[in-house]
């Protein structure tokens, strides 16, 4: 969804209907209000990594996130950029606080590089372990039921993420 919006604005630039600055500003405005599954959102950072737009943490917008780490010292925005530069897209696991302000919880995100603008587009889900079942919850839906609690040897199926097919085609695998 977000990738398609950005590509659409880029087509407007290439056709001469918008300047790059106008198209990028319009894309940021669209992404701020874009939601799926109720509360789920997309964010965009560049390859610096500097946050372009984060709908639930606007205090990050414009900030250099090179040194941003989760509680396990994972430099997650560096990881997002790294996987996008190596593979074009892929999955990254890390800890992230929910918008409601809870303690950081395990999250897995899919990121994809929009090459013409050097933007990393991402979205993810919080996952929890209960007994031998692992589930990912993202707002109004739950995905990935009954996966092994110890390892994920392959990428989760694209239908489980609700992602468009073109996002899943170039994705890497996720290992835990």
pLDDT tens digits, 12-33: 999 999 999 999 999 999 999 9
What are the φ and ψ backbone dihedral angles of 152, each rounded to 5 degrees? -120, 105
DSSP 60: G
Q: Reply yes or no on domain 2-169 having CATH 3.30.230.30.
A: no
Q: Can you say how many angstroms the Cα of residue 25 is from the centroid of all Cα atoms in its chain?
A: 19
Residue 129 pLDDT: 56
Q: Helix 2-14 to helix 20-33 angle, to the nearest 10 degrees?
A: 160
Give residue 80's pLDDT: 98
Alpha carbon distance 91, 175 (integer Å): 9
pLDDT at 127: 80
Cis peptide before 46 (omega within 30 of 0): no
Instruction: Domain ranges for the chain, please list them.
Output: 2-169
Is the predicted pLDDT of residue 6 greater than 90, yes or no? yes
Residue 132 has pLDDT above 60, yes or no: no
Characterize the bridge pairing of strands 105-114 and 89-96. Answer: antiparallel
Q: Which tens digit of pLDDT belongs to each residue from 66-115?
A: 999 999 999 999 999 999 999 999 999 999 887 676 788 899 999 999 99
| pLDDT category of residue 139 using cuts at 50, 70 and 90 | very low
156 Rama class: left (phi>0) / alpha (psi -120 to 50) / beta: beta
Mean local confidence (pLDDT), 114-118: 98
More confident residue, 132 or 72: 72
Q: What is the pLDDT of residues 40-61, one digit of tens each?
A: 999 999 999 999 999 999 999 9
3-state secondary structure of 127: strand
What pLDDT is stored for residue 148 in this prediction? Answer: 30
Q: What is residue 99's predicted lDDT score, i.e. its pLDDT?
A: 63
């Amino acid at each position: 969804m977000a990738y398609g919006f950005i590509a659409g604005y880029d087509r407007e630039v290439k056709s001469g209907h918008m300047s790059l600055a106008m198209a990028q500003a319009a894309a940021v405005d669209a992404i701020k209000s874009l939601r799926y599954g109720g509360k789920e959102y997309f964010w965009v950072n560049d390859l610096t990594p500097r946050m372009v737009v984060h709908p639930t943490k606007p205090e990050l917008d414009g900030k250099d996130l090179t040194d941003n780490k989760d509680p396990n010292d994972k430099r997650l925005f560096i990881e997002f950029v790294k996987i996008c530069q190596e593979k074009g897209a892929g999955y990254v696991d890390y800890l992230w606080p929910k918008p409601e302000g809870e303690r950081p919880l395990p999250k897995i995100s899919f990121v994809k590089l929009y090459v013409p603008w050097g933007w990393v587009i991402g979205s993810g889900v919080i996952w929890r372990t209960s007994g031998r079942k692992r589930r990912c919850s993202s707002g109004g839906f739950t995905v990935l039921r009954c996966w092994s609690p110890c390892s994920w040897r392959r990428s989760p199926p694209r239908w489980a993420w609700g992602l468009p097919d073109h996002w899943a085609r170039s994705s890497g695998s996720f290992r835990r």
